[in-house]
């Protein structure tokens, strides 16, 4: 790091520390995180928890969390109320919390609320969104370029807004690269069921898919095992799965933990704005990007870089809605 950058970083750290000290003089900053899943799921929830823990270490605030909550509105609302009772900032990780957060934020006007990967706002509520649909679009381009059968897949669990947007973007990316490629898409209803994800992966392989984009949490293991056995390449999400298992040809990285870290940082520095949606995309490659395996040809890598640049420049608008027939699996 250059001397100038070190000086700027020191100033930024000093400013945050000064703001935090001032805030703590009036009221200690206590941050509560809600995770509708397991913080060790190797995916979306774990990335969010990592970002929250990083904020606690770097910014000196008190961090608490509740995890393992089923994504049901009443249960989420109950958990949010419990956190709001003794925290100054409450962050609900994932768009499945949007309705509950909107309700509970109105009940606790003196508490600041944040939903990640959501689009809800209020007088004391903002959303911080990492645009995983942008890396999902690139995943679609990759799938279209590496498929040998002309059929690719997408599978996820629950139909929350970010997942739907990611699905739409992936299908659009496939069509952008090659409109003749067929896409099979399925939402199983569960992010963490390995037997179910294996069943769907096998069904997609039976239907001819040789590349599948998975947007799963703890249930990813079942898909990995099934695809390895069937010779199907997988495209992961959230973290760089290409560095973890050779079954992955790519990974649509979207570090949702940055949304939590930025929300806490904005809060303690005084930069937090209620009633807004903050978005983080490919213009911040440390948060959003596409990782590719070593065996991806250079020509495909070059094309992906060019498409990413067009998205950042606004030359490609990534679709976030899709209507079509879904791939179903018999019981």
CA of 69: how far to CAs of 21, 92, 197, 310, in Å? 33, 11, 21, 39
**What pLDDT is recorded for position 4?**
33
**What pLDDT is recorded for position 317?**
97
Q: Residue 286 has which token pair?
A: 């440390």
**What pLDDT is recorded for position 182?**
98
Q: What's the whole-number mean pLDDT along residues 17-45?
A: 73
Q: For the ranges 5-19, 29-43, 60-74, 242-256, which has the lowest average pLDDT?
A: 5-19
CA of 161: how far to CAs of 122, 232, 268, 288, in Å? 18, 27, 28, 18
pTM: 0.76
d(CA 5, CA 144): 41
- How far is it between the farthest Cα atoms of the chain? 63
Q: What is the pLDDT of residues 100-142, one digit of tens each?
A: 999 999 999 999 999 998 889 999 999 999 999 999 999 999 9
**What pLDDT is recorded for position 43?**
81
Q: What is the pLDDT of residues 285-322, one digit of tens each?
A: 999 999 999 999 999 999 999 999 999 999 999 999 99
Task: For the chain, list the strands marked E by DSSP.
Answer: 30-35, 62-66, 89-93, 112-116, 125-130, 151-156, 182-187, 211-215, 233-238, 248-254, 277-280, 288-292
Beta-carbon neighbour count of residue 78 at 10 Å?
14
**What pLDDT is recorded for position 79?**
98
Q: Residue 304 has which token pair?
A: 């992906």
Q: Is the pLDDT of residue 5 over 60?
A: no
Closest CA to 130 of 93, 167, 104, 168: 93
What average pLDDT does the structure give for the chain?
A: 91
3-state helix, strand, coil in the chain (%, to 5): 45, 20, 35
Q: What angle do CA 264, 104, 113 make, to 5 degrees?
A: 10
d(CA 159, CA 71): 11
**What pLDDT is recorded for position 27?**
64
């Amino acid at each position: 790091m250059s001397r100038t950058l070190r000086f700027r970083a020191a100033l930024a750290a000093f400013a945050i520390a000064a703001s935090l000290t001032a805030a703590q003089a009036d009221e200690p900053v206590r941050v509560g995180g809600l995770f509708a899943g397991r913080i060790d799921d190797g995916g979306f929830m774990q990335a969010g928890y990592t970002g929250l823990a990083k904020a606690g270490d770097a910014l000196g605030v008190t961090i608490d969390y509740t995890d393992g909550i089923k994504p049901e509105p009443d249960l989420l609302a109950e958990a949010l109320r419990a956190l709001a009772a003794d925290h100054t900032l409450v962050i609900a990780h994932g768009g499945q919390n949007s309705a509950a957060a909107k309700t509970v934020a109105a009940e606790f006007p003196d508490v600041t609320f944040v939903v990640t990967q959501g689009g809800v706002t209020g007088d004391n509520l903002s959303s911080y969104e990492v645009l995983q649909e942008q890396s999902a679009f690139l995943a679609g381009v990759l799938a279209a370029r590496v498929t040998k059968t002309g059929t690719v897949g997408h599978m996820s669990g629950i139909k929350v807004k970010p997942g739907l947007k990611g699905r739409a973007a992936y299908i659009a990316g496939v069509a952008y690269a090659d409109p003749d490629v067929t896409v099979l898409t399925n939402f199983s209803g569960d992010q963490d069921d390995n037997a179910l994800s294996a069943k769907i992966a096998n069904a997609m392989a039976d239907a001819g898919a040789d590349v599948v984009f998975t947007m799963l949490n703890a249930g990813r293991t079942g898909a990995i095992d099934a695809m390895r056995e069937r010779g199907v390449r997988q495209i992961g999400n959230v973290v760089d799965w290409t560095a973890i298992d050779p079954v992955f040809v790519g990974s649509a990285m979207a570090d949702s933990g940055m949304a939590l870290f930025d929300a806490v940082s904005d809060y303690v520095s005084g930069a937090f704005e209620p009633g807004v949606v903050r978005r983080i995309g490919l213009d911040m490659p440390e948060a959003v990007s596409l990782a590719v395996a070593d065996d991806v040809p250079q020509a495909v890598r070059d094309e992906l870089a060019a498409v990413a640049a067009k998205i950042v420049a606004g030359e490609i608008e990534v679709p976030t809605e899709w209507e079509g027939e879904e791939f179903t699996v018999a019981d």
